[in-house]
Amino acid sequence: TVPIIPGLKPIATKKQLNLIPHRFNVDLPDALIMEVVRASTPEAVKQVGIEWCTTQSKELIAAGIEVLHYYSMGKAENIKEIAKEIF
């Protein structure tokens, strides 16, 4: 059996609303897209991504997932904030 490890990429910029679906072949939740679009500053966008990723991480752990992989794409500050909340 090959384990499947969930990979999470927190949104950090509005530009990623288009990039992430194409690069990772995923659909983003409409509610996440709307929150990011409504965010008025780059820092607000980053915070939305952190909050969504933190919530999803907690849900996966509660469902019994033992290992999570975070895509930092060379920028780890938001991952550090998520890890502080999760671990």
Q: What is the pLDDT of residues 13-40, one digit of tens each?
A: 999 999 999 988 999 999 999 999 999 9
pTM of the model: 0.91
Structure tokens at 3: 């384990």
CB atoms within 10 A of CB 64: 6
CB 11 within 8 Å of CB 52: yes
CB 50 within 8 Å of CB 82: yes
Alpha-carbon gap, residue 24 to 1, rounded angstroms: 24
User: Closest by alpha carbon to 78, among 41, 60, 42, 53?
Assistant: 53
